Amino acid sequence: MDMQLMQDIVSVYGPSGREQAASDVIKAYVEPYCDEVYNDVLGNLIAVKKGTSGKKIMFSAHMDQIGLIVLDIDEKGFLYVAPVGGVSPMLSVGHEVMFQNGTRGVVSYENKTKKFTEITMMEVFLDIGSSTKEEAEEKVSIGDIAVFVSNFVMMGKKVAHRTQDDRIACAIVAEALKTMKSEHDIYAVFTVQEEVGTRGAGPAAYVIEPDLNISLDVCSVGDTPESVREHVKLGCGPTVKAKDSSVIVPMSVREFIKNAAKKNNIAVQDEVLRAGGTDTGAVQRTRGGILSGCISIPCRYIHTPVETVDMDDVDAAVKLVIACVEESELPK
């Protein structure tokens, strides 16, 4: 993995519905290796590499990140917010946030009536250093979205950042596009608004109508102290999804991905995600049904500012994407 590519893609601002800056960064990296790159009406970024077989493989990875949208500003200049995606009130408090225009702030909560463990988003507010409503309105407006500020933290082979979900998958697809060769048409779709209901992937798949879709996302792990029991561990390879809340992956697709891994000596793990959906399900339900599977990157601390992945898994996922496009026979 090109670490500069990875850092640029995971660091750029891009919450759900505001993905354009992320799209621009990814486009700059993938355009030299593709025959066509464009944005659709919803904002999905679609990169195409033409083949000769007449078959289409789609890879989907979502660009959006979770955030906090401003819904009110009080007379003292504090901002009240609603979640964009799965944001935990308790995990938000005490963190720094940033708006697209560069305005910075911190997250706190009303502590008069509730204990910290009882707070909801109704009690969470942002302090952007303003003393009046008018001063705050010079910096932000109702409907502006803040994202959490996070360092790019390298811990040996492990890397933590707020947007590993799912920019690490965007980086993997971008890296794979550099060298992949296939007789099939390849559509790399960097999707929008996954965190608020997998809204981008389905419309993109409807137009492309691929013979096979493979989504890339992160999945939870069970390798931290006293965690909920999970089969997946960091550093043991990317996963081949069997099920999440949005999809049960057809056996033919799972076997296709596993066979490609086996041929190329790539270690993979089986994955059953307890909760949470992915673009996989949105694509599967498009048109009359589309064969759809998912390769996941094991990730600790999902939906926090310190989402953590292992670079061995990341590099293996790049190889697995390339291995899949090299297969002549697609699943049926």
Catalytic site residues? Answer: 194
Q: In terms of Cα–Cα distance, which of 165, 70, 166 is closest to 121?
A: 70
Q: Among 254, 290, 218, which residue's Cα sits nearest to residue 61?
A: 218
| Contact (Cβ atoms closer than 8 angstroms) between residue 174 and residue 26 | yes
Backbone angles phi, psi at 213, to 5 degrees: -115, 135
How far apart, in whole angstroms, are the C-alpha atoms of residue 271 and residue 294? 10
Interacting residues of 222 by C-beta distance below 8 A, sequence separation 6+: 228, 229, 230, 231, 232, 233
Beta strands in the chain (DSSP E): 36-39, 45-49, 56-62, 67-73, 79-84, 96-99, 104-109, 124-127, 145-148, 153-155, 158-161, 185-191, 212-219, 239-244, 247-248, 269-272, 292-298, 307-310
What b/e readout covers 131-165, taking b as 16+ CB neighbours within 10 angstroms? eeeeebeebbeeebbbbbebeeeeeeebbbbbbbb
| Residue 158 φ/ψ, nearest 5 degrees | -100, 145
238: its two tokens: 């990317």
d(CA 303, CA 52): 40
Query: What are the tokens at 275?
Result: 């909760």
Whole-number Å distance between alpha carbons of 234 and 158:
9
Q: Which two three-digit tokens encode residue 48?
A: 């195409």
**How far is residue 244 CA from its own chain's centroid?**
15
